[in-house]
Structures are given as C-alpha cells and as structure tokens.
Amino acid sequence: MGQGLSNETTASLSHEELNKALAGKFAEECFTPIELYSLKDVFAGLAGQVGHLKPDTVAQFLELPEILDVSTVLFQIMSYIGAFPFLQDAPAILGLEQMVIVITILTGRYRKVLLGGSSDRLKLLFGGLAILDRHLSESKLARHPSSSTRQRRGGTTPGTGPISGSTVDEPKEDSNPGADFDEDGLVFSALEALGCLKPYGHMAPSITPDSMIPAGSMRKLVLLLLLIAPLGPQESLEAYSTRLSEDDLENLGYTADCVLETFLGSGEVPAVGLGRFRAVILTSMPYIFDGFTALFEHFLFSKNLEFHRHLGDPPTTANLAQQPVQPLFESTASIMNFGILSQLSFFITGTSLFRRLRLLYSGDEDGFSMGSFESRVFNWRAPTLLLVSGTRLSAETGRSQNGPASTFLSSIPAQRLPPGNKNESEREERLTYGVYLSQPWKHTYRECFGNEETVMFQLQPVHDVFHASTINKDYASFTKSSPSSLPGGVSFGCPPPQPIHAYRRSNIMPLGPVSLMVEDSFEYGVFTHNYTSQGGAFQASATRQFDFQDRFEVSSIEVWGLGDEEEAKRQTERWAWEAREAEARRRVNLGTGDIEADRALLEMAGLVGANRSGGSVA
C-alpha cells in the first residue's frame, strides 16, 4: 500500500487492483505510520490464516452487545463500503485493503483525499443497509399484509430479549428517484483520484429506486448509534454495556423507536427510502454517525504497542473494559437519561453535551413555579437546554366547562389542529419537547431573546428538529403575569407580550406558526406546527409537512446548563452569594432592637420579603 499509479496503467487494471490502489492512497494520506502499523497488527491477529475478517470476529473485537443483534447489520455495511468505489461488486471480502477503505470512510478521514461531502457518504451508508430484491420483498409482504405498530417499529418490546425486526420490508419508489439515485460524488472523486474516470465513468449505479432499508435493520443500527454516541477515543464499548440493564434497555429501545418513527414517517410500508433517509439526517440528525469514528478507530490501536512500558517489561493485561467510565451527567432527573442524551447528540455536537451537563432546575425538586425557575437558571451564563415532558390532552378535555385544563385551552387560539403523531397507543401519549439556547435567560419586555443558534426540537414520540429563522427573531421569552399584560409563561417562537389596552381585554395568548409555550403555572403547554402558514421564528419540519398541534399536561420540566467546571464553579459562587444576601436581608434591622418589627416595616416599604424579587432564593 502507498504506491501510486500512472494514468497509462489504470485503464488495464481490474476492479480489485484499483480497489487496492485506492486503499494505498488512503493509507498514505489518511493514516499516520503508527496507525497503519497498528492496523496491520490488529488485522493479522483477527484475520489469522484465512486472511480476511468474519462477522463474529468483528463483533467480538468491537465488543458489540449480543442483545442488540446488530453485528450482521454492521458487517453488511462494512462489506458494502469495502467494495468502494466499485460498489456494484459488493459485498466485498474484508481483507486489509478493504478495511483501510472502510475505516477511512466511516471515520470521515476520506475528506483528506476526496472532495465529496457528508451527504455523499450517506449514500454509502444507505447502500450498505438497503435491500435490492423487490420481488422477495413483495412476496414477504403478501404473506403479512397487515402492518401493525409493532411490525413498523421492527421487533419485540425493548428489554425482553434480542432486538429483532422484520426481515424484509416492501420497497417503495420515491416521487423523484432520478435525482437521488445517480451515483454519488465520492465514487467519481475516487475514480478521478486514481486517474481512471474515463474508462469507469459510466458505471451503473449500485442504488436503484427499489432500494429500501428494512425497518428492523434500521432500528438495530439506531440502537447501536445511541449506545456508541458518547464513546471516546480508545474507550471500550463493553464499559457502556452496563447501561443495557432491563430498565435501561427499555428506555434505549423506546428512544430508538422515536428516532425510527421519523425515518418511517406516515408511510404504510415499514421501510426507508433514500430520499427520506437523507432528508431526515441532514435536517434533524447531522451527527448521528459520529460515534462510528471512535468505534472504528479501535482498529488503529494495537494492544501490542505500549509505549509507556519499559524495555524488558512483560506486556500488561489490563482490560480497558474494567476501567471506570466517567458519568455522562451527574444528577438524576425525571426526563434526562442515557438514551435522551445520546439522542440529543444526534443534532447537538457531543463535545458540548457529554460530561458537560449540570442540572440547574428541576420542577420535581425545585417546584413548578417561575420564581424557582428564575432563581436557578438566570445566573447561568453559558448555553442551556430546556426539556419539558407531559401527557397529551384528549379531545374530550376541551369540551368540559370546568377545571384548569379547560381554562388553559380557552386561553389559546380556538383553532384546533390534529395531533403530531397519528398512532393512538397509550404509550405514545407521552410527549417531550425541548429548546437549546446559546444565550443567557432574561425577562422579556418588548423584545424576545435568543439568536440564530437557538434550536427547538421534539424527542418523543417522534424525533424532529426546528431550526431558527434568520428573519423573524421571536426566539424565546420569559414573562411573569401582570394586570397590564397578557398571561405570562415561557414561550419559544411566540410574539413578545403586549400591553392590554382598555378597549382590548382579550386573554388569548398569541402562538407562533412553529412554537412551544408553557403557561406560567407550569401545568400545561402547547406545541404548534402550522406548516401551511410558513414563516415564524422557527422553520417548519422537513419531514412532517402538515399542520398539527400537541396540547399537553406538564409532568416534568428541567433546565440543564452546558459548560465546563469553571462555569459550574462560577454558578455555585453566584448561588452562594444570593444565599448570603437573602440571609442578610432576613437579619436586617433598624436598630430598635426588635428584628421582627424592623423587618415588617421594611416589607411594607417593599425593600425585603415577598414584595422584592431578590429577597429569597426559594
């Protein structure tokens, strides 16, 4: 590997010889000498006398948990990419040269050599997951014509055994297949790098309009991607397998179902086409495959190379899996868990999330009030994540004339849109929305706060992301109720509060076209997606192109700070200062000797106590 070819010789070379030539180019320009030496050493140990890798060998080396049943899916992807750039020859036998290509592409190192972007790599990943036999798919579907929710989600209840799914799903043609099924730019960049674009420039594409990813295969891969999302360089995946207990696996499986629901959409066929595969990833999961980098770089670290060991010392037998893994977040919470955190890393870079989260406010612990929210969140000067979870209000709720739910529903516009998720199972009544803010929180008077980095999202029961607009800047507001303005609350994508004039006594809270609002008692919330109107502070969903609205009763609300130890230290110091100030106010006196009387006088003056917003951190 590492030797170049002249333009005169490429036309007479076979696909296998050109594949090896490309591997040599990758090895020379994308790997350090130590990494290449380690790869050869690791490969020799795994391949043995047969000279190539097998599925069980790869699964054992990468420490893939058996309960996920994902080794076959992953090996299928590797065998497809190993044939690059002649993908019509897939599946490839995974020799050393093929593994160089696989590692280079799955870790993103190919950008040093080829000009193709991440969207081109998506075609390779899609091709590795997709099936091509349309007739077999139709015959399978004919034997099982009904598509239940369980079949669409691709398997058994999470946590009850190996993750399984539909073996084959019916393919479906995209509305405009020609635009998506042309061979990707990475292939032509590779051929051009080898100097053989002319003789091989008109190859038949390896992906056809009949290519579809079965729902079961997609679910297994999503489960793996959720598990490896926080994986760091040289970290053992086995150390994270402790998060696959029965309860953890059930939560992880439900998170995978929410992600899978986005890929499947409203189609009746439990399979994913290339058009939707690309659209979902590019708009709402751009970092979903980042975990592959750390996973496949394990091939570049040989345990036989221990530079810290002195000459003559025996090799160590320390197992990386036995080393404790630093917690990904420090506090227990009602909403945040390992699956949710990994899901967030699909659209927020993992370097900003993992081991950088601090729980600032929890309604379950600090109380469901805007005062508690303000005292715990407003002093944090780094980015924050708000998560709110609740239960969807039924259609019958609004028909009742009494109760807080009816009062809330009467305070929002009367237009009623259908729910965002059309499945009616009891578990799918659970909703989780959230917002990422890069700016500190503050009170809203005439203008909202936030910037173009603000992101609004839904995590359950469907994964979706709503990016900020560059025109309308009504990103976020925090408004306490007052007699002179509309009812307060926390809102995103809604117009700022307006004074109530004598001639206009309407208590209807205006909602933005794409918006999230939680009223000031933190009891109820509403998410609106008016796709027809377009416009607003947040862009409409790229995958759910219809109008919907979710009205829900809040069960939990949390705010997490994203920052390093220094920011956490500053926050702790601010809280300590506020506690001292509050204590000082409680002890203040006018020198009469009667502290209680002095305090009562100061409260009447509005200097301490309930009439002064800074008088307590409670």
Q: Quick one: pLDDT band at residue 556, thresholds 50, 70, 90?
A: very high
Same domain, 359 and 475: yes
Look at residue 319 in the predicted model and tell me its pLDDT. 44
126 closest CA partner among 191, 73, 59, 56: 73
Look at residue 451 in the predicted model and tell me its pLDDT. 94
- Distance between terminal CA atoms of the chain? 67
Same domain, 269 and 191: yes
Distance CA(326)–CA(354), nearest Å, equals 10
Centre a 10 Å sphere on the Cβ of residue 287 and count the other Cβ atoms it contains: 17
Distance CA(126)–CA(221), nearest Å, equals 12
- Section 345-358 average pLDDT: 91
Two tokens, residue 364: 């379950």
Cα-to-chain-centroid distance, residue 579: 37
Burial track 57-91 (b if 16+ CB lie within 10 A, e otherwise): bbbeebbbbeebbbbebbbbbbbbbbbbbbbebbe
Two tokens, residue 311: 């000459």
3-class DSSP assignment, residue 528: strand
Q: Does some domain include residue 337?
A: no
CA gyration radius for the chain?
28
Residue 571 has pLDDT above 90, yes or no: no
- 239's CB contacts (< 8 A; 6+ apart) are 320, 321, 323, 324, 325
- Please, is 39 exposed, middle or buried when counting C-beta atoms within 10 Å of its C-beta (0-12, 13-18, 19+)? buried
Cis peptide preceding 461, ω within 30 of 0: yes
Domain C-terminal end among 300, 316, 340: 300
List pLDDT tens digits, range 121-163: 899 999 999 975 454 345 344 434 433 343 434 444 333 344 4
Q: Quick one: pLDDT band at residue 590, thresholds 50, 70, 90?
A: low
Burial track 202-235 (b if 16+ CB lie within 10 A, e otherwise): ebebbbebbbbbbbbbbbbbbbbbbbbbbbeeeb
Look at residue 135 in the predicted model and tell me its pLDDT. 44
Same domain, 92 and 207: yes
Residue 328 has pLDDT above 70, yes or no: yes
Same domain, 289 and 363: no
Distance CA(362)–CA(558), nearest Å, equals 5
Q: Does some domain include residue 344?
A: no
Q: Does some domain include residue 278?
A: yes
3-class DSSP assignment, residue 335: coil
Same domain, 556 and 583: no
84-93, 175-184, 284-293: least confident range: 175-184
CB 134 within 8 A of CB 141: no
Query: Read out DSSP for 452-489?
Result: TT-EEEEEESS-EEEEBPSS----EEEE---TTBS--E
Q: Does some domain include residue 229?
A: yes
14-28, 94-108, 155-169, 428-442: least confident range: 155-169
* More confident position, 419 or 594: 419
Distance CA(212)–CA(277), nearest Å, equals 10
Residue 447 has pLDDT above 70, yes or no: yes
Distance CA(129)–CA(526), nearest Å, equals 37
Q: Quick one: pLDDT band at residue 362, thresholds 50, 70, 90?
A: very high
Same domain, 280 and 388: no
Same domain, 130 and 255: yes
List pLDDT tens digits, range 488-531: 899 999 988 776 654 444 678 889 999 999 999 999 999 999 99
Distance CA(216)–CA(213), nearest Å, equals 8
Element spanning 94, H or E: none
* Percent of the chain clearing pLDDT 70 (strictly above): 72
Same domain, 590 and 559: no
CB 289 within 8 A of CB 125: yes
Query: Read out DSSP for 291-308?
Result: HHHHHHGGGG--TT--TT
Q: Looking at the chain, how many residues does it have?
A: 618
- Section 329-351 average pLDDT: 90
Look at residue 193 in the predicted model and tell me its pLDDT. 82
235 closest CA partner among 301, 314, 143: 301
Look at residue 163 in the predicted model and tell me its pLDDT. 42
Residue 51 has pLDDT above 80, yes or no: yes
* More confident position, 575 or 182: 575
588 closest CA partner among 578, 575, 601: 601
Please report which residue ranges of 285-419 form alpha helices under DSSP H.
291-296, 338-344, 350-353, 363-366, 370-377, 404-410
Same domain, 523 and 585: no
List pLDDT tens digits, range 258-274: 999 999 987 667 899 99
Can you name the residues that pair with 431 across neighbouring β-strands?
A: 390
For the chain, the average pLDDT equals 80
Q: Does some domain include residue 235?
A: yes
Centre a 10 Å sphere on the Cβ of residue 567 and count the other Cβ atoms it contains: 17
Look at residue 211 in the predicted model and tell me its pLDDT. 86
37-41, 147-151, 196-200, 281-285: least confident range: 147-151
CA distances (Å), origin 55, targets 26, 74, 237: 24, 9, 17
Distance CA(549)–CA(526), nearest Å, equals 7
Determine how β-strand 524-529 pairs with β-strand 514-519: antiparallel
79-88, 219-228, 399-408, 576-585: least confident range: 576-585
- Please, is 532 exposed, middle or buried when counting C-beta atoms within 10 Å of its C-beta (0-12, 13-18, 19+)? exposed
Centre a 10 Å sphere on the Cβ of residue 460 and count the other Cβ atoms it contains: 21
* Three state DSSP letters for 407-426: HHHHCCCCCCCCCCCCCCCH
Write down the pTM of the prediction.
0.83
Tell me which residue range forms the domain holding 589: 573-611
Two tokens, residue 214: 């079965």
CB 449 within 8 A of CB 442: yes
Residue 420 has pLDDT above 90, yes or no: no
Domains: count for the chain: 3
Q: Quick one: pLDDT band at residue 243, thresholds 50, 70, 90?
A: confident
List pLDDT tens digits, range 78-136: 999 999 988 888 999 999 999 999 999 999 999 888 876 666 889 999 999 997 545 43
Can you name the residues that pair with 390 across neighbouring β-strands?
A: 431, 554
Q: Does some domain include residue 403?
A: yes
* More confident position, 350 or 134: 350
Look at residue 72 in the predicted model and tell me its pLDDT. 96
336 closest CA partner among 314, 352, 353, 318: 353
Same domain, 275 and 353: no
Determine how β-strand 548-562 pairs with β-strand 357-362: antiparallel
Q: Does some domain include residue 36?
A: yes
Same domain, 292 and 363: no
107 closest CA partner among 289, 263, 378: 289
Q: Does some domain include residue 168?
A: yes
460 closest CA partner among 605, 337, 287: 337
- The two most distant CA atoms of the chain are separated, in Å, by 104
Look at residue 241 in the predicted model and tell me its pLDDT. 75
Same domain, 194 and 91: yes
Cis peptide preceding 85, ω within 30 of 0: yes
Residue 248 has pLDDT above 50, yes or no: yes
487 closest CA partner among 497, 495, 477: 497
